[in-house]
Structures are given as C-alpha cells and as structure tokens.
C-alpha cells in the first residue's frame, strides 16, 4: 500500500507539474513589451526542454532587474518569478519555489485570480517541503477563497496534511467532504480514509471504509488485519473471524501465525468447529508444526465444538505428548462428563501418576466404576479418595453398602463436572 506520506507527495505533485502551464503571456493587463514576451516564451520553452537550472538563474536575474519598475515591469517581474519558481520545483527545491511564489503573489498589480492560483501552488510546495503548518494555513486560505474551484484532490490533500499533524478530528471532517466529491475512490484513498477515521475514533465508519477497500480485492495484508482488529474492538468477533477467513482463503494471509490467529478468532467468534477443521488440516499437511501449543489449540477447538470423539482423541494425543497431570486430568474430566467411563478411568489414573488432583481423580474413577457396574473397583477408588481427602467419598462408600445397587445415587448429581 502507498503510505500516507507518499500519497501526500502524489497529490501535491499533480499541481506542481501544472505550474509550467502558467497563463498565456499577455493574458493579464498591463500589456508587456514584445521583447519581454519573447524572453519569457524562450525561457518557458527551455524549461519544457529540461534546462531547469539555467532557466531558474536567468529568470531570477530578469526579475531582479525589473524590481521597482512601472506596472508592466511589475507584471513581467511576477511572471519571471513564476518561471523561476517552476524551475526550482522541477529541480526538487520546493521551499525555494514556494518562497518565489510568495514573492510573486505579493507584487502590486497582480490580479486576484492569479494571486489565488499562486497561493494554491505555494501551499502545495510548502507541504512537499515539510513546512506543514504553513502549508496547511495557506491551503485552508485557498480553500476558503476558491469559490467552487476546489475539488476532491484538494480536500484529500487537506485531510492528509492535517493527519500528518495528528489533527485527526479536523482531518476526518475533510475526508467527509472528499468522499462526497470523490465518487470512485482509489485503494490508496480508501486506506487513508480508514486510517483517519480510526484515529478520530470513528471506528464504525473506518470499518465500513475498510470493507469497501477489501471488496475491491485488496491484496494488502495490513488492511485485512486492521479490519479484523477493528471488528474485534467493536465487539463483533464473528465478523473479525469472517474477515480473517476470507483473507486466508484468498491467500492474502498465509503464515502459520496467521493460521493460528484464524483459529483463535473462530474460537472466540463462536465457530470452533471451523477452527478445529483448519487446524487439523494444517497439522496433517505439515503447514503447522505438531508441537504442544498447536495440539493444545486443536484440543480446545474440538472441545468448544463439542465434538466428543475428536476432542477426546486430541486431548489423549496432547497428554501423551506432555505427560502433564493437568492434561490427563482434563481428558479424564471431559470423558467423565460425556459418559466415556473407561476413558475417564484410564486418564484419571494417569493424572494421579503425573501430578493431577489425586482426591478428585479417585472420586471420579469410583463413579465411573459404578457406572460400569464394577462395584469392587469402585469401593477401592472411594476408599483411596477418602484417604486423599475427598469430602464426598464417605457418602459414596455408604451408598455402596446400602441394600441394593439401585439405591446408588446419580453420580452426575453427586459430583460436579469441572470440564
């Protein structure tokens, strides 16, 4: 994407190139002597041929000789100064060119329309020269005096100039005017508008502009990331996920970190199955490393999607990799909550061995054995749970000693599932 400063230079330069085409000599009164006309025309031709340095020098010398003359001399002097300014601008000397235009428009007898044109050109040159405050002041003056001459380019220039000074609210106001005057904005201007609106706190408008930019087929990753971030900031995580998903499918975002972010957005945005599918495919294809972090993200995604078989498989693979008590405990809790009793028993046993919550693991194991009709194993588990400090173990032991198996309490009512 073209940067905002580059856009500023492009907008300014379009007018600077036009300053060679000054009004035809003799257009404004008073009339010039024929030799003066020939001299101006010859210099203008040499300037068109690329001889900027000599034209700048000769035009300045001519302007100095005419200082203090009559009305015709003053008009000729102004035209020579314009020619010198044009030459300086061609050579990249924007500040010197701006000073020459300022001198030219200050000469007595120059008609107001010409002063206004030179005011516009001076403003643009000062902006290009980095004299932002003075350039903004002059451009604002010109816009107030232009009376219908200003157009979208001028409004965009004012908006960008204010943005370089961090005057975001004022810049946004000029973007509003520019958009009304610019029916078909370029991608560069859409990006500029979005940036200014965002900095001005108008996030909804900024996101709408970014949507317009992206709809044009933008291949700029930063624009897609900004749009997703804005959607998140506005609380629409689902929209952020959809934007990131579109960028991923179009190949605009393609790194492994982009894929992880895509999965996390789908998780947060309420589409965890989509996250899991992306992660599974990427792991199978080798696009993502099969490391602990990525396997954990996959397990969390399947769990949030409530795909029980996939979730248990993912947690099993992760726990076998990490051999961490908390991961075995998580697998056991999920299996217990979903009624996968043998899986729960096996996982909780591993959790005890690797640092999980021993008291709770024994208690849940006991319930799982009860569900499987394994009363002796259940008793042993509850005795171990009681010894480990589980509060409910005594009640479960008492229930096993009761008259019949039918009186065993509902395990889901007796123990809260923490999955």
User: What pLDDT score was predicted for residue 403?
Assistant: 33
Q: What is the 3-state secondary structure (H, E, C) of 122-162?
A: HHHHHHHCCCHHHHHHHHHHHHHHCCCCCCHHHHHHHHHHH
User: What pLDDT score was predicted for residue 30?
Assistant: 75
Q: Token pair of 174, please?
A: 């000029």
User: What pLDDT score was predicted for residue 416?
Assistant: 55
Q: Token pair of 72, please?
A: 């015709």
DSSP one-letter code for 22? P
**Residue 40 CB contacts under 8 Å (≥ 6 apart), including other chains:** 25, 32, 76, 79, 80, 83
User: What pLDDT score was predicted for residue 14?
Assistant: 42
Report how far residue 358's alpha carbon sits from residue 366's, in angstroms, rounded to the nearest whole number.
Answer: 12
User: What pLDDT score was predicted for residue 417?
Assistant: 58
User: What pLDDT score was predicted for residue 59?
Assistant: 94
DSSP readout, 52-111? Answer: HHHHHHHHHHHHHHTTT--HHHHHHHHHHHHHHHHHHHHTT-HHHHHHHHHHHHTSTT--
In terms of Cβ atoms closer than 10 Å to its own Cβ (0-12, 13-18, 19+), residue 416 is exposed
Instruction: Tell me the pLDDT tens digit for each residue of 130-145.
Output: 999 999 999 999 999 9
Please report which confidence band the pLDDT of residue 404 belongs to, taking 50, 70 and 90 as the band edges. very low
User: What pLDDT score was predicted for residue 217?
Assistant: 86
Model confidence at 308: pLDDT above 60: yes
Q: What is the pTM of this model?
A: 0.76
Helix (H, G, I), strand (E, B) or coil at 295: helix
Helix (H, G, I), strand (E, B) or coil at 302: helix
User: What pLDDT score was predicted for residue 418?
Assistant: 52
Model confidence at 235: pLDDT above 80: yes
Query: If we measure between CA atoms, which residue out of 78, 93, 95 comes closest to residue 22?
Result: 78
Q: What is the mean pLDDT of the chain?
A: 89
First to last CA, the chain: 47
Model confidence at 110: pLDDT above 70: yes
């Amino acid at each position: 994407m073209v940067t905002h400063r580059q856009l500023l230079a492009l907008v300014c330069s379009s007018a600077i190139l036009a300053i060679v085409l000054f009004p035809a000599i003799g257009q404004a009164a008073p009339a010039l002597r024929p030799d003066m006309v020939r001299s101006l025309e010859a210099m203008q031709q040499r300037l068109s041929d690329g001889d900027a340095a000599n034209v700048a020098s000769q035009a300045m010398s001519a302007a100095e000789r005419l200082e203090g003359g009559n009305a015709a001399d003053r008009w000729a002097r102004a035209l020579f100064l314009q020619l010198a300014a044009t030459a300086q601008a061609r050579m990249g000397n924007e500040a010197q060119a701006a000073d020459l235009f300022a001198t030219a428009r200050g000469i007595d007898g120059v008609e107001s329309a010409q002063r206004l044109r030179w005011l516009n050109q001076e403003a643009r040159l000062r902006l290009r020269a980095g004299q932002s405050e003075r350039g903004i002041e002059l451009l604002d003056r010109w816009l107030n005096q232009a009376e219908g001459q200003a157009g979208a380019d001028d409004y965009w220039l004012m908006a960008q100039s204010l943005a370089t000074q961090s005057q975001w609210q004022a810049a946004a106001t000029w973007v509003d005017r520019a958009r009304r005057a610019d029916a078909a904005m370029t991608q560069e201007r859409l990006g500029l508008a979005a940036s200014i609106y965002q900095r001005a706190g108008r996030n909804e408008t900024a996101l709408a502009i970014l949507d317009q930019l992206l709809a044009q087929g933008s291949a700029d990753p930063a624009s897609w990331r900004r749009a997703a971030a804005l959607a998140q900031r506005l609380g629409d995580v689902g929209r952020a996920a959809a934007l990131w998903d579109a960028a991923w499918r179009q190949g605009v975002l393609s790194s492994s970190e982009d894929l992880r972010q895509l999965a996390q957005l789908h998780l947060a945005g309420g589409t965890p199955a989509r996250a899991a599918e992306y992660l599974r495919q990427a792991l199978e294809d080798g696009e993502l490393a099969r490391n602990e972090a990525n396997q954990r993200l996959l397990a969390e995604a399947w769990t949030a999607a409530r795909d029980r078989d996939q979730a248990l498989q993912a947690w099993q693979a992760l726990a076998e990799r990490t051999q961490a008590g908390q991961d075995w405990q998580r697998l056991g809790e999920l299996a217990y909550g979903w009624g996968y009793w043998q899986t729960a028993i096996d996982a909780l046993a591993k959790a005890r061995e690797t640092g999980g919550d021993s008291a709770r693991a024994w208690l849940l194991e006991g319930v799982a054995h009860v569900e499987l009709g394994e009363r002796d194993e259940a008793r042993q588990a509850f005795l171990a749970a009681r010894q480990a400090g589980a509060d409910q173990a005594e009640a479960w032991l008492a229930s096993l000693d009761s008259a019949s198996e039918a009186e065993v309490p509902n395990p889901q009512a007796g123990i809260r599932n923490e999955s």
